[in-house]
Amino acid sequence: MKSQRIQIVDLFCGCSGMGLGARRAGLDVALSVDVDPVLTSSHGANFPGERLELCDVAQLTGSDLREKAQVTIDGIIGGPPCQGFSSIGRSDPDDPRRTLLKDFFRLVSECEPSFFVMENVKGLIAKKNISELENALDLVREKYHIVGPLLLDAKDYGAATSRPRVFVFGFVEALHAKTFSSVLLQKVTDPTSVRDAISDLLGAKSASQQCDSDFDLWQLSSEVNVSPYARRLRSSNNLTTGLTCVQHKDSIIRRFSSVAPGKVDKIGRHFRLSWSGQCPTLRAGTGPERGSYQSVRPLHPSLPRVINVREGARLQGFPDWFNFHRTSWHSFRMIGNSVSPIISEKIFEAIKESVTTAFEQISEIECRQFEPMVAGRQRMMESQQEL
């Protein structure tokens, strides 16, 4: 019988930035869940055949998740909506989305997976919000060894964007994961420059005539220097989407041309990227139900325009085959709401390594005390051999 790999459920998945990192680390996403049909609109194209459930997480029970996943759930991951905790937003204590944080941990408690990963904005650990996190964690403290909250920045794990986020990890006691923090620390690396992330996109040619899709299709040049970072994100055929640029008015072009790298346009508050630096956190903006406010995009390092969708995706760490939405507004909502797949992959590599190490160090009798991973021990060991 073909062995299975570690099975996880991705709550509040959005366009699946965190889930993509988990997949690239060798885990299987048995089920993705989100309430927003726009943010998940490309799921079928990016992950054909994989289960997506469009529903309100607050209405789900642990039994629902197990039934929909159709596998033994080894891990639950997710980033509950952050707007109610954001330091740059309203951070409204009455925002109903704040309660979804507790629903995440409620489902962890009901499903009893062997580990969990929760991500949110750093405003969650601010003095006015930290009690909500502590109260939510009370639902799982007796069953899990908690690691965090930790403030981790995507650039410290090789991304081309500075994106500090709060992460909380939990492991059943049999997988105490004593090695997890040290393994994760070993994943720290130098950040990627904007040049290494996007410079090879210059000179791309339109190839939309080659397909019937509504997406814009582009052929990247094979005659430019491609950094190791960009090479890993490029498609095998050098095709990609999302390179259509905003056509600015002449007056705006002149204004953008006067902004130096690392400086901010005084009128629109657009930050000009520097080729040698990193991109600041890309913001999501809001959906139509909350006013359809578009986020301010950074300016290209050398061209008098805002960055396009694929440039934003590269900076965030998405591969070129990954599709977003047919409109740039929704595409940037998807990117801005996502966890960088770069840091996500490093996190799940550390989880897989530390969990495997834990299984090698505990006895069979100890393993039998902790469900459900007793059933998963062999398949995790076998998955290591397959990768």
Residues annotated as part of the active site: 82
Bridge partners (DSSP) of residue 119 are 167
User: 10 Å Cβ neighbour count for 15?
Assistant: 30
Question: Cα–Cα distance between 277 and 172 in angstroms, integer?
Answer: 40
What is Dmax (Cα atoms) for the chain? 73
The residue type of 74 is D
Asked whether 313 and 335 are in contact (CB, 8 A), the reply is yes
Asked whether 52 and 44 are in contact (CB, 8 A), the reply is yes
**C-beta pairs of 362-369 under 8 Å, 24+ apart in sequence:** 362/174, 366/174, 367/174, 369/174
Q: Answer left, alpha or beta for residue 241, where phi above 0 means left and psi between -120 and 50 means alpha.
A: beta
Question: Cα–Cα distance between 314 and 188 in angstroms, integer?
Answer: 19
**Bond prior to 372 in cis (omega within 30° of 0):** yes
For β-strands 144-153 and 52-54, DSSP reports them as unpaired
Length of the chain: 387
Place of tokens 């994961």: 177
> What is the token pair recorded at 53?
């459930």
Asked whether 276 and 195 are in contact (CB, 8 A), the reply is yes
For β-strands 217-219 and 205-206, DSSP reports them as antiparallel
Q: Strand 239-241's sheet: what is its strand order?
A: 205-206, 217-219, 239-241
